[in-house]
Amino acid sequence: MSSVVGEEANDVLASLDAISPDFGTYMVEAGFADIYGREGLSLMQRELVNLAVLATLGGAEPQLAVHIRGALRVGISRDEIVETFVHLSLYAGHPRTLNALRVAREVFEATPD
């Protein structure tokens, strides 16, 4: 989890401790150990999938920001992130793409190159 989410992993898990520590454990074990640990997709590919899904869902902008930072952390370029969102406009629509691009801009502005 920390290889993608970095130090934010501790913040996420700490925030869940007060309301549902079991869910934090589940997220780590099921999501990051079981799913991320599978063969077939690289970590970079998994993060691109996450970006597309979170952008398409809408209402998941905080999680999208976390995964944009994660994508940068695992070596995905800013251009690849932007192109992922532009590409999904054909399938998810312009409003979802505009929201995703706004979140990306905010993350990029707050993240040194």
pLDDT tens track for 3-41 = 666 677 677 777 888 898 888 778 777 777 778 888 999
- For the chain, the structural domain boundaries read 1-38, 41-113
Mean pLDDT for the stretch of residues 81-89 = 98
Mean pLDDT (the chain, rounded): 89
Examine the pLDDT at 57 and tell me if it is beyond 80.
Answer: yes
At residue 6, the pLDDT reads 64
Write down the CATH number for the domain with range 41-113: 1.20.1290.10
Instruction: Quote the pLDDT of residue 3.
Output: 64
- Read off the pTM: 0.85
- Residue 14 DSSP label: H
Neighbours of 44 (CB within 10 A): 13
Mean pLDDT value across residues 86-102? 97
How far is the C-alpha of 69 from the C-alpha of 14, rounded, in Å? 19
Cβ partners under 8 Å of residue 64, min gap 6? 51, 54, 55, 100, 103
Is residue 113 scored above 90 in pLDDT?
Answer: no
